[in-house]
Structure 1
């Protein structure tokens, strides 16, 4: 049998170790968890985040809704009508995104290209790619927009030239041509033969995503922070298209913000920044509400009325317009992106002109903005994991009457922002990654309770060990407590 002394020593020894280990781990666990999280998230060829970042395994879909102009005949007949549009779609495409041509840099950054593929999903769509869409001809409008400040003697021959190939400013084509296949236009064919023309049109066809499906170079080259030197900067862009600036002036031209795949733990900060290469700038989303996605609590960030404000309400955003705030600077809610769309008079808004101030919404019939047509992202706060993304934007072309270019001046209103299409890029966390996130969060939350329990058990073992030791000492004849008691008394007690 194990003696009382050995038993007491064993219990007190184990208890002491458990108390020390438990107490130390309770104190150190948050730092240890964060260190392990950093090791998993910092981008390297061996980190867990790398394979997820390089080829996003979560299903992604692009939903495109086209606007069809329904009263072209009345417009061409010269009737005093308002432009009418109707929605067609959505046309849903499954998106595959892969980072290619990776180069690891010495300054904790990585250089890469985005390669995207889109696959039409007819069972998820409302309509087919053969549906015919009628809208304004972007080539005619772009040429007129470019010529708007030129001398009348130059505009007249341009108008004659365009009328040689087009009867009016409208064009009808199927969805496939509008989106990926491109629309043939004789003006583009002729422009291709004269490379010295002042208008730079780098495509032989027009399509919103023409030349983009499967292209490595279309989005440009990105330089992103890996987080190795400063974990708080993980996922943030350092350069885009070999520059740390875009064409916008001052702060609006800065290349900054997350690309959307990697986020450092945000811990409830009031806003997040996302860089959007399609509009050549970044967007700031404000903290909105706490939501739950597949049982994981996260913080939702939503675009508010500061998005595309241009300085009307927020003076810091005045740099989205030229310093001379002329007619090219539209009211709050529309961003002029013509400089990054090859000179086309392209303006970006939220779907259905949500938040766009007068007078432009009143010039189009058929729009019905709803509060959910916003740009939002939801993040899990302690890991930075994206839970859901709803990227919703609308592409519009500004049609202004230009003297002497009569083919461009057929809309009833001389200044109309024509909605072309809007899209929603939707990303939702999958069940597999929800389980992974829950495991990490449970580990973070429950481990301290385990260490508290370990400490508590250690205290109990210490108490038991001390009790056994005291009991042994009380029974020992050499105990100081019993030193004054005679052997006869002890014998009698026994």
Structure 2
């Protein structure tokens, strides 16, 4: 019995060879020409949040990266001596950190037809004793913030009003310095008879909505506290993704004049790709204004390379070195004459609060000359944000802000009649965010896809060209004919 052998004819071999060559060349051209376009569309979709199916939306809706906030409180150790003799410098000892785990969820998310999304941010905090130094029951002595607020509210009032307030202060035995627990200062809050007085003064500019005082009182698990945001969602392109357009339904705020009052910048968690941008802007609801961060050195996190953007002296300059910063000085805040702090009193219920970098880092030396115990250190107190330039992914964040109170002499208020006007530090906090390794891995894969697609295209083009050259060479030499052995086998096959 003969053996039936199937084989490709010379014509079949020829067209198969050229068919593969054409297929590889077409695939190569497709990857080389269209891959970048396809990748850009995929990247735009995944980085933007206009679709609830995108990766960015899922990460933005409920932040998966661990966030920690550490509080450092300044204990005023010689308050009794300073009260007796105002020429003595106040001495402060830093206590902490008191660290909390911070979690963010977006509430009431609404997509608008103009390429923006509106939302609230609900923040919750959980105390982490294992990451803290000390306990929430630690006692801290500080300059009385309610007294500071009352003094600032009545300093331009009629003498009769000031004397009436002074009578109330003496009757209630209000003290210049108060001692409370860490928990009371931060989240728990504490009762104070001065709050009732402030309400009775019925000052339109001062409408505190809380029954207790605490720097973060009523803020834990509140969606409304940070305000209502309106932000670009990336539907029209990701070059402005995450930029805040309105806060509490306003595009400019009344607290500062000129450019300083414009709502602008990112909320800090969702970013457009900065590429080679030299300066970025963050909008802070705590400051009711924006902060600029300037690009410095490169930064690497789990193999992802980015740029570090740092806070410079520009942010809290009073116009001495940067004229554009002068509009941050409020007209009614007399005495704010040195760079290094920003007045947020109008933003924070008229409390004479000043923000700065921790330990008055990069501030005018006069702030440190009036007190003792603070030592600014770039490594400990620099504010920075590191971004991956092609995706805008935050690699590492250290948001550091110090809250200070202005202690001002008032002739008709006995408690304040002999004090020296100073800026008294209350506390500072550091918000810490670091990209995790499990989130860095897919991003690294994403970043190599453009090159991988290009290289694949060039490889297919090269392979197709080689096969085509071989085909043309064989055709030129007329080598597609069967060998004599194959022809004999074919003739004997049954």
Do the two structures share a fold, i.e. TM-score over 0.5?
Answer: yes
Q: Deviation digits for residues 189-208 of structure 1, max 9, x if unmatched?
A: 4555x483554332211101
SS of the residue 2:280 aligns to: strand
Q: What does 1:300-311 align with in structure 2 at a 5 Å threshold?
A: 300-311=308-319
Say whether the 8 Å CA contact 1:285–1:376 is kept in structure 2: yes
SS of the residue 1:279 aligns to: coil
SS of the residue 2:125 aligns to: strand
**Structure 1 residues 219 and 294: CA distance shift in structure 2, 3 A:** same
- Distance in structure 2 (CA, Å) of the matches to 1:409 and 1:71: 19
User: Could you list the runs of 5+ residues in structure 2 that have no partner in the other structure?
Assistant: 1-6, 483-494
Which stretch shows the higher mean deviation, 434-443 or 336-345?
A: 434-443
SS of the residue 1:338 aligns to: coil
Q: What does 1:59-458 align with in structure 2 at a 5 Å threshold?
A: 59-78=66-85, 80-191=87-198, 194=200, 196-197=202-203, 199-246=206-253, 247-322=255-330, 327-372=334-379, 373-409=381-417, 411=419, 414-458=420-464
Q: Deviation digits for residues 156-183 of structure 1, max 9, x if unmatched?
A: 2211211222352110000000001102
Deviation at 1:436, TM superposition (A): 1.5
Say whether the 8 Å CA contact 2:44–2:237 is kept in structure 1: no
Matched with 1:28 is 34
Q: Deviation digits for residues 126-174 of structure 1, max 9, x if unmatched?
A: 0110000000110001100111122322212211211222352110000
SS of the residue 1:87 aligns to: strand
Say whether the 8 Å CA contact 2:265–2:282 is kept in structure 1: yes
- Distance in structure 2 (CA, Å) of the matches to 1:30 and 1:409: 71
- Size of the alignment, in residue pairs? 472
Given candidates 474, 477, 490, the residue that maps to 1:471 is: 477
Which stretch shows the higher mean deviation, 74-83 or 338-347?
A: 74-83
- Distance in structure 1 (CA, Å) of the matches to 2:208 and 2:67: 31
- Distance in structure 2 (CA, Å) of the matches to 1:325 and 1:459: 77
SS of the residue 2:91 aligns to: strand
**Structure 1 residues 326 and 139: CA distance shift in structure 2, 3 A:** closer
Deviation at 1:465, TM superposition (A): 1.4
**Structure 1 residues 106 and 165: CA distance shift in structure 2, 3 A:** same
Please say if 1:51 is aligned against 2:58.
Answer: yes
SS of the residue 2:178 aligns to: strand
Deviation at 1:443, TM superposition (A): 1.6
Which stretch shows the higher mean deviation, 423-432 or 21-30?
A: 21-30
Which stretch shows the higher mean deviation, 156-165 or 362-371?
A: 156-165
User: Could you list the runs of 5+ residues in structure 1 that have no partner in the other structure?
Assistant: 477-494
Two-structure CA RMSD over aligned residues (Å): 1.9
- Distance in structure 1 (CA, Å) of the matches to 2:230 and 2:398: 24
- Distance in structure 2 (CA, Å) of the matches to 1:160 and 1:434: 62
Give the structure-2-normalised TM-score: 0.92
Which stretch shows the higher mean deviation, 427-436 or 195-204?
A: 195-204
